[in-house]
Structure 1
Amino acid sequence: MNWHLLPLSEITQLFNTTPNGIDQVTASERLNEYGKNQIEDTKKKSVFQMILSQLSDFMILILIVAAIISGIIGDVTDTIIILSIIIINAAVGFIQEYRAEKAMEALKNMAANSARVLREGKMMDIPATELVPGDVVLLEAGNIIPADVRFFETHQIKVDESALTGESNNVEKDPEELPEGNYALGDQTNMGFKGTSVTNGRGLAYVVATGMQTELGHIAKMIQTDETTTPLQKRLASFGKRLSVVILIICTIIFIIGWLRGESVLTMLITSISLAVAAIPEALPALVTIALAFGAKKLAKHNALIRKLPAVETLGSVTYICSDKTGTLTLNKMTVQEIFETSDTKHNTVFEEKNKLLHAMALNNDVLKEENGKWLGDSTEVALVQYAFDKNLNRAEIEIPFPRIAEIPFDSKRKCMTTMHQIRNSDAEIIVLTKGGVDVLFDKLNADQKMLIPEFENKVNEMAEKGYRVLGYAMKTLSALPQNLDSEEIETELTLIGFVGMIDPPREEARQAVSECKEAGIIPVMITGDHKLTAKAIAIKLGIISSEEDLVLTGSELAELTQIEFVKMVERVRVYARVNPEQKLRIITALQSKNHFVAMTGDGVNDAPALKNADIGIAMGINGTEVSKEASHMILLDDNFATIIVAVKHGRKIFDNILKFIKYIMTGNSGEIWAIFLAPFFGLPIPLLAIHILWINLVTDGLPGLALASEPSEANIMQRVPRNPKENIFSDGMAVHILWVGFLMGVVTIAMQAYAIHLANSHWQTMAFTVLCFSQLGHVMAIRSGRDSLFKIGFFSNKPMLIALLITISLQFMIIYTPFFNDIFKIQPLTLQELLLTVAVSSIIFWAVELEKLIKKVIKLKKYNS
């Protein structure tokens, strides 16, 4: 309902109420009809349901099966490790789901606990939850507005609506109905909204909406949605399902082939099950969690606090960043950018320095300065006073010769503020200084200056086109202070002395960040509560708007578009001005419908739905509300857009490293499968025992794989476009790499086996086992970079990897050369010649992968040159 457009008489009729309020009987009936005035939760999951949902993930189910199989085989260590991974992942998921519900609790905490109402003309305090439509509430400075209300009586009442609308300035309320039109929440000046706070004055208002029907309630509905699935979660789910089917088929084939060749059923069953356990990358969830936690720790040092670990990876896939303007792209500090003084000489003798405009800026304000030097007051007035102060005009000093003796405060109808100052060195002469909107001041000028209004308007338009907020100053002198301070009488026959152009300037680092953003293939979009001209000017300065094709859309223009029309143009819009919470969510949804991954920043309650439903919601740590923080995936501790770009870089690096781990683990598993699968075709016995497979799976795969999480980012990481969200994890040649390198590993292993058997060497199984282990270590070093040679990136650029390799090699030597482990693993010590031979043969994998990178680089260079 458009309560702000209805006459007060219609509202009283609709709710059958009066300025004296409703009676108790009516209030009770309406409480039953409308329900309590509170934010409701959707049905909460029990702790058991939350835990069960974590254990129902497809990859987790695979791990549970793997643990059971390991238990059947008798490998207790592997079983314990797999179960530990399952428990850790379930715990992390449970904590994230549990914390997500705090967003609703934060919304509830915004509501007022009690409300002062008039019922049958009697004033009483009641619990805010018992308010009903039609109630009359009394509001004054310090109150939280308990429901959505329509004012019918106001006395200089101002409301801080920043948490709901994103507007930093307090809004003065007026009971008058608004002309027909589309109004953003911040422009509905006769309305008060649940959860916002009164900062000044007092007023009376009719309750028009309670509970979930309020604007705060609508936001609550919008954040009561399921968590979005991250790109990695989607890819791993798809990966796990396909992998399980492939493994089942391969293991069945290997079992049948071995059985047909005359191997014992028990041996082949154990080998097939062992291979299945090895082929399932049970360390993958642990690696993902460790990699994300590692990235989160690093990001915290760069002022980005990760609330939900998958957000780190999601950043690497982001294609659009929808950012709030104030404080994120700008300094959140109004600053005077330009002043214009008129050529008036009438009042030149009033101030000794003859700088009338600067004196007016210093004197006409209500700003206070604390002992620590901090300015207190309205942000606009602070900017004006600061400018004058920087020009050596200190208000405290100049008020000595020009003390304030009276004032007419600012109000929304006049759009002016007037102060009157005694001139100490004159015969009781009074200076009148008026500050206000230039269009208002033009009507108050003396006859001589009214002739110059077209000239003044040209200058004002020049400033406005730069996105500046323009205020004018005018003055006159009186022989004595009038007894009746009537604004219509005093604010007339004024002389315009100048204009001031102000703006919240863009952050210098944000301009560079926007440039980096575009270079990385990410499109930055500004969403702001500011007016169109200001938003456009800032966007141009930042480089967000860089061509005529880039569009600016206001909330009212967006409201007139159908969803089909909007989706068609959404990729061209770079700035949204004066938008409401539903529209922010609509923007996110439209971009997602075009297969984009969207990051959304915000600080207010109004941002919470979009933050929660974006692929990654980013809240502000300094100016953000608790609601926005709880709904977000990440918090910017410095409220700085540039920090997002740092986070994107980390996100891409982490995702790259996760892909490297998958490439490493799956290539190794592929090598084991190929070795066991191919051996019978060459008349060779099975090269590996079940315990060998499990050892490779646990040690050779584990430590070096986890060390990949520490791999530095690729040199070109921020010069490439975001990874296509539709691509699965095996795209971009990974599947081919896994197959051919795995095949080569298998061939090298059985070639070593065949050679040793040919020489009647009894150590053939130990040599085949060692070749496969060392082949994987060579492989992990080669894939540390997907494009550059190991010799270019350096052996020591990832020290945890070197430590992991030394430990793995030491453990391999331990089982080869220790009699106790020889018996367990059924292997024999190798001679120095045999050991050197296995190392040389296993190095084939390293050189093959290095050659692959070189060939790819040459092909890419040829394509570029052609």
Structure 2
Amino acid sequence: MCKPPLLDRDNQAPADEADEPEDLQTASEDSALKHRLDLQTGEDGLSEEEAARRLLQHGRNELPDLRTPKWRIFLEPRDTAHTLRAAQEWPDMSTLTALLLLNGFVGFFEDMRAGDAVAALKASLKPEAQVKRAGAWRKADASQLVPGDRVALAAGANVPADILLGRGMQVQVDQAALTGESLPVSLGEGSLVKMGSTIVSGETEGLVAHTGVNTFFGKTAALIGSTHDVGNFQKVILRITRALLLFSSLLVTAAVTYLSLTFDGEGYGVWPAVSFGAVLLVASIPIAMQVVCTATMALGSRLLAAKKAIVARLASIEQLAGMTVLCSDKTGTLTLNKMVLQEVLSYAKGADDAAILALAALATRWKEPPKDALDTLVLRAECLDRASLDRHEQLDFTPFDPKLRRTEATLRGPDGGVFDVVKGAPDVVLRLCDEANRSSIGAVFAAKVEELAQRGIRALAVARRPEGGGMEMVGMLTFLDPPRPDTKRTIERAMQQGVVVKMITGDHGAIARETARSLGMGDEIGASDSLPTILPGEEVPRTLGRDYGAMIEKSDGFAQVFPEHKFLIVEALRQRGHSVGMTGDGVNDAPALKKADVGIAVEGATDAARAAS
């Protein structure tokens, strides 16, 4: 049996069909189609005058800067110190000011994290776009794009705005960082390509539908910027401080009253008693408590750093200890974010793993670097005899076409015989086989394909046709993005500690259920249509926990979700009284990472995810 090769996401396979979740894609396309009616763009694009007018109307194509100046965060009012200064209590004022400055440093690093997350999102966007205006194509600053601009997209290009694709070839789009889908998707005319995604292959044109905060990317940034919750650690400190202050106030009031009433002309008077009470009240405020707690957690962070866990927010150490629910992304978090060849299935006599892989390799340009993930999977297999490939002469080759969903090659073998090889989507290749072959293997083959589909495992079929003969199915290769080696054990240990683990992913439901099943997380995976949504700038409802909390608690996870769904799932659980953790690695995880009590960005996470955690 061949040792399965690993395949990085950077060189990933094109999907067999449009892999974007159908209900989400349809909703976004319907919105874009309605918007297209107002774009009013001709073949020559917008004129410069019209573009300038729309720029004033819609604003620049960039994310708003939500960062508060760092000096303002640090220099907040320090009322207690000001009071002591007014009273000319210089030694006490100096001591108290030093403690307040230490507390200020803690708040300084806590309060500026939302702006840093948005800044990371802005930094990930490309600054230029190919735009057609007044009949001429030119490079332009992407921040100057407006709805209705005609732009060109080619392989390797970063999508500069939400773009409605026009007529042309289908393109392969990598939007894993936005939606969590583990494979690039095929999109064509009428589809909406999201800002921040990348064109993997193909060339096409489109019209800008949304810019700036109105894009999918912008809505994600708005969710991050809307999160200004006080951490649980700060809430505990405030509750303790308030309780002590209330108790101290009662005692000080009793003491001042007693001293004032028992004045005998030689002891305390009213004003001396009030002065004594003020000093006692100030002394009873635990101003150093946060400093002591922070120093203790800093020591803990050093121990975690030794285990390669970097603590960006010290309060998260305490919150991690009290976590009751852990929500986790799938792609790149629970899984390797690498495609792995699972098994080779034979449907022809005498066709072993090596023979099937060799035929699959002959349907590539094996002498050139791999063009896509399927070719990489095949050509990197250890049991592939590359020398045997070189004994063949490739007479013709048809590269992968998203519409045909297959690759074809015509070859001359070492014996001089000519034959064709086809590899592609199983249903497509089966239809190319002759009737006798379909009749003999059709039922078994279809049942296997259905089983793999239900488990979310991708498959690639390989068929061969000798010159003058019929097409015969030879075999099928299966591949999957498998869990990380330590994921299952980590989840088991979390469950043993009483933590409920839920998967929330943008990938397909079948893939999510298979991953959850293999990790022992349960298979009650819900869909996004049962979850609430939120518009940019809209206040988060305070009734999420009441309306959706019970349903979310009963589910083992959710599939085909967008960033706002992850954000609202975390908030609903928090409203139900849970201390919620969130793990993720992509832009689509950043709002939920910011909203959670404990945000955990895994190794290899995007800058936005790391800044939000």
Alignment of 1:30 onto 2:31: no
Where does residue 409 of structure 1 map in the other structure? 399
Question: Within 5 Å, which residues of 2 pair with 1:443-842?
Answer: 443-451=431-439, 452-478=441-467, 493-545=470-522, 551-558=524-531, 566-622=548-604, 624-632=605-613
Where does residue 117 of structure 2 map in the other structure? 103
Letter in 2 for 1:459: K
Gaps of 5+ in 1: 178-189, 371-375, 480-491, 633-866
2:342 counterpart (337, 343, 346): 337
1:603 to 1:510, Cα distance in 2 relative to 1, 3 A? same
Which digits, 9 at most, give the CA deviation of each residue in 1:729-781, with x for residues without a partner?
xxxxxxxxxxxxxxxxxxxxxxxxxxxxxxxxxxxxxxxxxxxxxxxxxxxxx
2:296 counterpart (272, 287, 291): 291
8 Å Cα contact 1:530-1:578 kept in structure 2: yes
Residue 524 of structure 1, CA deviation: 0.5
Residue 232 of structure 1, CA deviation: 1.7
Structure of higher RCO (CA pairs closer than 8 Å, 6+ residues apart): 2
Inter-partner Cα distance in structure 2 for 1:551 and 1:498: 33
Inter-partner Cα distance in structure 2 for 1:171 and 1:423: 35
1:114 to 1:368, Cα distance in 2 relative to 1, 3 A? same
Residue 465 of structure 1, CA deviation: 4.1
Residue 31 of structure 1, CA deviation: 2.0
Q: Mean alpha-carbon deviation: is it higher for 303-312 or for 151-160?
A: 151-160
1:368 to 1:524, Cα distance in 2 relative to 1, 3 A? farther
8 Å Cα contact 2:532-2:568 kept in structure 1: no
What is the SS of the residue equivalent to 1:621?
A: coil
Question: Within 5 Å, which residues of 2 pair with 1:224-263?
Answer: 224-254=225-255, 260=262
Letter in 1 for 2:52: S
Inter-partner Cα distance in structure 1 for 2:162 and 2:462: 37
Where does residue 540 of structure 2 map in the other structure? none
8 Å Cα contact 1:151-1:174 kept in structure 2: yes
Where does residue 689 of structure 1 map in the other structure? none
What is the SS of the residue equivalent to 2:392?
A: coil
8 Å Cα contact 1:148-1:209 kept in structure 2: yes
8 Å Cα contact 1:368-1:377 kept in structure 2: no
Which digits, 9 at most, give the CA deviation of each residue in 1:230-283, with x for residues without a partner?
222112112211211211222343455567498943998887667545543333
What is the SS of the residue equivalent to 2:294?
A: helix
Whose radius of gyration is greater, 1 or 2? 1
Inter-partner Cα distance in structure 2 for 1:519 and 1:340: 38
Letter in 1 for 2:221: A
1:80 to 1:379, Cα distance in 2 relative to 1, 3 A? farther
8 Å Cα contact 1:63-1:282 kept in structure 2: no
Residue 595 of structure 1, CA deviation: 1.5
1:535 to 1:368, Cα distance in 2 relative to 1, 3 A? farther
Q: Mean alpha-carbon deviation: is it higher for 330-339 or for 586-595?
A: 330-339
Inter-partner Cα distance in structure 2 for 1:475 and 1:325: 37
1:354 to 1:502, Cα distance in 2 relative to 1, 3 A? closer
Letter in 2 for 1:630: A
1:221 to 1:477, Cα distance in 2 relative to 1, 3 A? same
Residue 21 of structure 1, CA deviation: 1.6
From the two aligned structures, give the one with the greater helix fraction. 1
Where does residue 539 of structure 2 map in the other structure? none
Alignment of 1:422 onto 2:396: no
Superposition TM-score, scaled by structure 2 size: 0.84
Where does residue 268 of structure 2 map in the other structure? 265
Inter-partner Cα distance in structure 2 for 1:354 and 1:163: 34
Where does residue 384 of structure 2 map in the other structure? 393
Gaps of 5+ in 2: 1-25, 535-542
Letter in 1 for 2:467: L
Letter in 1 for 2:292: L
Which digits, 9 at most, give the CA deviation of each residue in 1:344-398, with x for residues without a partner?
24xx5xx8x795323234444568999xxxxx76445444444x41xx324x323
8 Å Cα contact 2:68-2:115 kept in structure 1: no
Residue 323 of structure 1, CA deviation: 0.8
Where does residue 716 of structure 1 map in the other structure? none
1:333 to 1:251, Cα distance in 2 relative to 1, 3 A? same
Inter-partner Cα distance in structure 2 for 1:312 and 1:62: 29
What is the SS of the residue equivalent to 2:582?
A: strand
Letter in 2 for 1:14: D
Inter-partner Cα distance in structure 1 for 2:509 and 2:594: 26
Inter-partner Cα distance in structure 2 for 1:556 and 1:442: 34
Alignment of 1:172 onto 2:173: no
Which digits, 9 at most, give the CA deviation of each residue in 1:528-562, with x for residues without a partner?
232222211221221111xxxx6211234547999
Inter-partner Cα distance in structure 1 for 2:201 and 2:467: 31
Inter-partner Cα distance in structure 2 for 1:406 and 1:203: 26
Inter-partner Cα distance in structure 1 for 2:427 and 2:81: 71
Letter in 2 for 1:409: P
Where does residue 120 of structure 1 map in the other structure? 134
Where does residue 161 of structure 2 map in the other structure? 147
8 Å Cα contact 2:361-2:375 kept in structure 1: no
1:494 to 1:256, Cα distance in 2 relative to 1, 3 A? same
1:334 to 1:284, Cα distance in 2 relative to 1, 3 A? same
1:96 to 1:431, Cα distance in 2 relative to 1, 3 A? farther
Inter-partner Cα distance in structure 1 for 2:472 and 2:547: 50
Question: Within 5 Å, which residues of 2 pair with 1:55-134?
Answer: 55=77, 72=89, 76=91, 80-134=94-148
1:134 to 1:465, Cα distance in 2 relative to 1, 3 A? closer
What is the SS of the residue equivalent to 1:14?
A: coil
Question: Within 5 Å, which residues of 2 pair with 1:313-328?
Answer: 313-328=318-333
Residue 568 of structure 1, CA deviation: 3.1
1:88 to 1:449, Cα distance in 2 relative to 1, 3 A? same
Superposition TM-score, scaled by structure 1 size: 0.61
What is the SS of the residue equivalent to 2:139?
A: strand
8 Å Cα contact 1:467-1:537 kept in structure 2: yes
Inter-partner Cα distance in structure 2 for 1:604 and 1:92: 27
Residue 571 of structure 1, CA deviation: 0.1
1:6 to 1:411, Cα distance in 2 relative to 1, 3 A? farther
Residue 405 of structure 1, CA deviation: 4.1
1:140 to 1:377, Cα distance in 2 relative to 1, 3 A? closer
Inter-partner Cα distance in structure 2 for 1:535 and 1:596: 24
Alignment of 1:4 onto 2:13: no
8 Å Cα contact 2:344-2:353 kept in structure 1: no
Residue 13 of structure 1, CA deviation: 4.4
Residue 127 of structure 1, CA deviation: 2.5
Tell me how large the CA RMSD over aligned residues is: 3.3
Inter-partner Cα distance in structure 1 for 2:58 and 2:86: 57
Residue 403 of structure 1, CA deviation: 4.4
8 Å Cα contact 1:132-1:207 kept in structure 2: yes
What is the SS of the residue equivalent to 1:153?
A: coil
Q: Mean alpha-carbon deviation: is it higher for 516-525 or for 140-149?
A: 140-149
1:298 to 1:63, Cα distance in 2 relative to 1, 3 A? farther
